[in-house]
Amino acid sequence: MRYELFIALRQIRARKFQTILSVGAIALAVMVLTVSQALMVGFTGELYDTTVDKLPQVSVSPQEGEDYIYLYRTLIDEIGKTEGVTAVSPFLTGKASFKFKTNSLNAELKGVLPLQENDISAIEADMVEGDFRELEYSRNTVVIGSKLADKLEVNPGDSVDVSFPNANPLSLRVVGIFHTGSPLDESLTYTSLDTAQEFYNVPDVINGLSVRLEDFNRDREVAAKIEKTGYKAKGWTETNPEILRTIAVESTSNNVVLGLIVVIASFGVVSALNLSVIGATSQIGMLRAMGATISSIRTIFVLQSSILGLLGALIGTLTGVVISLGLGQYEMPAASSELYGGMATIPIIVRTGDILVIILAVFLLNLIAGIYPAQQAAKLDPVKAISSK
């Protein structure tokens, strides 16, 4: 062991109270940073799962000046061959008025091919009653959102009257209820594509295509390729920019605040080391008199700062991971779950990469922070240092 490291460790052990305060301040800051990062990643993942993952990642609309897509089967085949596209689902959607007994509400009636639609929105996983695929085998049936079902007071097996100006009124039997935990539960209903075409009296046409991608981050690139077919196409980042803004604003503000906390904790280490330099002035002079070089004195104090930073980072991340995993086990009360979009537990994601980055960043920050007091110690005159008290 090099003697600089030996002396650095001896200094840390000798000043137990200062060491505990310095390590504790860094550990506390790193713990907050770790927990916050796990929450941020968890909530971001949940946001993607409940929004982006259920949205069409690219939406295709009719050509300029057209209300419908007529030769949609050919277009589906063409888009399906585009690199990065994993599923394409046609739909015909519009507003409709739903009436059951004395209850009446307006909502979106979306005609789809159930198998293809499930590849886009994974709606089968959100079914709480009935079977989404029954739309495929029966006509004049409908699947509705849970909140809309509550307001209409309908259950599977009931028939609702559906009407709208310029549409053919129908009586649709409810064959399922879904719950996504999003506003769609109150505003969206599904029926078969044939039934929707009959209701809106527009046979064999659609007014949009939903496209799912291997990588949702490539939405604009794929949309640009689809637009070469002559149809309008937009990625989810264009149709729902508020999702990106929400994530960016929360992530930036979170990182700035937590970064400042770590910087403040590191300044605590600098302050402790400065006091250490003042208190060890005579010992520094003796070391210089015994032949220790300026570089060795500088190394001793930089090592002290690094060790304190590393200890604080390790203790802080360990504590933060334990607290994060504990928070992840907390089950939300049923009432609160509705407020948070149907989440049953607090979404927590602890990523090994984040932990390693936090430890490395805090270690380097403290290494840099230790340079100033190390320079102050190295500049001490040996004669004056030995004679000082």
Spell out the long-range contacts of 333-341 with Cβ–Cβ below 8 A and sequence spacing 24 or more. Answer: 341/46, 341/50, 341/181, 341/182
Sort 230 into a burial class: Cβ within 10 Å, 0-12 / 13-18 / 19+: exposed
Judge whether 238 lies within some domain: no
Q: Let me know whether 25 and 72 are in one domain.
A: no
Last residue of a domain, one of 195, 230, 265: 230
Could you give the CA distance from residue 270 to residue 276 in angstroms, rounded to a whole number?
10
Q: What is the pTM (predicted TM-score) of this model?
A: 0.66
Alpha helices, DSSP H only, in 280-293? 281-289
What was the pLDDT predicted at 386?
Answer: 62
Question: Which pair of structure tokens corresponds to residue 335?
Answer: 């009432």
Of 306, 336, 42, 311, nearest to 181 by C-alpha is 336
Q: How far is CA 340 from the centre of its chain?
A: 14
Judge whether 115 lies within some domain: yes
Q: Which amino acid does the sequence have at 45? A: G
What was the pLDDT predicted at 98?
Answer: 94
**Which residues sit opposite 89 in a β-bridge?**
210
Q: Let me know whether 34 and 89 are in one domain.
A: no
Question: Which pair of structure tokens corresponds to residue 20?
Answer: 């505990």
Per-residue pLDDT of the chain in tens (389 residues, 90 and over written 9):
577 788 778 877 877 887 788 788 888 888 888 888 888 888 877 777 777 777 788 999 998 888 899 888 999 999 998 888 999 999 999 999 999 988 899 999 999 999 999 988 888 988 999 989 889 888 889 999 999 999 999 999 999 999 998 889 999 999 999 988 777 888 999 999 999 999 999 998 999 999 999 888 888 899 999 998 889 999 888 887 777 777 777 777 777 777 777 677 667 666 666 666 666 666 677 777 777 777 887 888 788 888 888 888 899 899 999 998 888 887 776 655 555 556 677 888 888 888 888 888 888 877 787 777 777 777 766 666 666 55
What was the pLDDT predicted at 158?
Answer: 92
Q: Let me know whether 331 and 284 are in one domain.
A: yes
Q: How far is CA 205 from the centre of its chain?
A: 37
What was the pLDDT predicted at 171?
Answer: 93
Judge whether 236 lies within some domain: no
What was the pLDDT predicted at 294?
Answer: 75
Q: Let me know whether 117 and 140 are in one domain.
A: yes
Q: What are phi and psi of 217, to 5 degrees?
A: -75, -10
Number of structural domains the chain divides into: 2
Containing domain of residue 110, as a range? 63-230
Judge whether 296 lies within some domain: yes
Q: Let me know whether 95 and 221 are in one domain.
A: yes
Could you give the CA distance from residue 63 to residue 83 in angstroms, rounded to a whole number?
22
Q: Let me know whether 296 and 203 are in one domain.
A: no
Judge whether 190 lies within some domain: yes
Judge whether 58 lies within some domain: no
Q: Let me know whether 119 and 192 are in one domain.
A: yes
**Which residues sit opposite 318 in a β-bridge?**
none
Question: Which pair of structure tokens corresponds to residue 24?
Answer: 């504790």
Q: Let me know whether 82 and 186 are in one domain.
A: yes
Last residue of a domain, one of 208, 230, 252: 230
What was the pLDDT predicted at 196?
Answer: 93
Q: Let me know whether 139 and 286 are in one domain.
A: no
Of 358, 266, 330, nearest to 37 by C-alpha is 358
Could you give the CA distance from residue 124 to residue 118 in angstroms, rounded to a whole number?
6
Judge whether 187 lies within some domain: yes
Q: How far is CA 45 from the centre of its chain?
A: 4
Q: Where are the beta strands (DSSP E) in the chain?
A: 58-61, 85-100, 103-112, 127-130, 141-145, 159-163, 170-178, 188-192, 208-213, 232-235
Question: Which pair of structure tokens corresponds to residue 235?
Answer: 């990625």
Q: Let me know whether 210 and 141 are in one domain.
A: yes
Classify residue 157 as left (phi > 0), alpha (psi -120 to 50) or beta. left
Judge whether 334 lies within some domain: yes
Angle between helices 241-279 and 16-50 (to 10 degrees): 170
Last residue of a domain, one of 202, 230, 258: 230
What was the pLDDT predicted at 23?
Answer: 83
Q: Let me know whether 375 and 288 are in one domain.
A: yes
What was the pLDDT predicted at 108?
Answer: 94
Q: Let me know whether 168 and 301 are in one domain.
A: no
What was the pLDDT predicted at 209?
Answer: 93
Q: Which amino acid does the sequence have at 338? A: E
